[in-house]
A and B are shown apart, each in its own frame.
Chain A
């Protein structure tokens, strides 16, 4: 059973289509990245999964059920816009959210204590939120999302506004949740986090899905780039789309080579050997997710 499944979901606000025919599925134990620029429809999609918004068309399944608060016992959610009740203590805040998710008060309190200890806030359990630093408050917010040990953890731009220490803490929690069998869906437009964490990812632009798959599959959408060092131009070799001189001109010249789509670097190396095309360097350059994003989404965003 998928932890989260969207089938042909459409959401409109007046004349504006925020989410257009979106379908994807997330399996238990999977970390799923929901990538897109501002206004791509990420938050709207996640709000529909949480039943904060209702789709105009299509269907959504959350842990095998229709979206609704009956799922909240198995759901964790950290919104992009985060805040806490300022006059409540750290532990009371966690217990309140735990109880809203159907936990017994004692269980929520016990888990709240564990989380605060784990996040280094053991000494601030009874401190009112308005007396905590921003970083501490962010940890409390994270604790409210995971206090019920959710089977589906939805994080909307979770890294925005976090300091590097808390970013590391959040990454650890994401990995911990996934290892525990939970599906983690997080939206972001910071590719480094997605690169480190995602098993699969979905690229969204203007409400439409442009790509869904693993990171390797995403990278495969870009032409292969090679760095060669040769005495002659590799542009004449089969499968080379273009070759640009790089570095200082000399007997051995560096070349930046892009292969035409569908060509394998190994085939090119074999061709060089067979044809006696002398090489001192043959290096394949792995494209970053950022480049993949720009490649896939850039054009769509501009349209």
Chain B
């Protein structure tokens, strides 16, 4: 697309940055809740280009990071079963549970394959009829419909040696939980790009109204993000709280109803545990009874127990926007991207990993 490069042109980003600087007239705390935003903000160096008064904090927008250690333990259990092949998104593979990671299970002899799409996992099932393919399904509203479509395809083709751990989550409930936290003090919310493509910009309206919280949906180019920040700063200055859609090329007000319909054909909302945020009512996507035979917990007899998070890891507070990574005593010392202790350092979208890779800060303040 010719104009794709225009979104990246210095001319537009620089002009937007000047406009942002002219708009921000007071200290502002903006939270982004999308791991891809977090990475884009760090990689493009935006943190040092925005006005000093503007503080950018990351929220619970990395699906791997909010997956509780107890779920990771269940994935590892599945990997260690006879005749099971784990097919997983790459980001999950090095996340430590209380008893190792999928990567470790792999080095001990388990078969762990990285796939790019859940459909690739289903193809593995077709090609390995004597094995059971286990797909740990984590992700938000963007990923959940792709998994739902895969389950429907498995159902249609009557594939029986395929199962998932239904660990997908939806975004609005944790945002409500975060915004009702009086300690958080966020002035505006940079809403996720592709989650919004599915749920629609209007999904944030209740949040904007109830908490008087300016919201802006933004894409992933630096210019997109700065446009989102301008929208938020302008709303704060004007004393308004609306949902502004700055990513109209991908996100509509009503979202993608076809994807949502597929998602809710297969899944139903249930309470689920978030790392760092605890149990949040109605925030998880469990398999509907009709598709229960694809549920790995029953099929592989997985034992799901709550386990403590890694000792000393402050991911919980980081995911809630209370701390920045260098405030964790383990940051850069025992916890680095090559030897991660918590999920926020493993996932390429994790705040600790982005901080470590792209900021000059490689050491804990302790």
A and B: bona fide binding partners = no
Interface residues of A (CB under 8 A from B): none
Interface residues of B (CB under 8 A from A): none
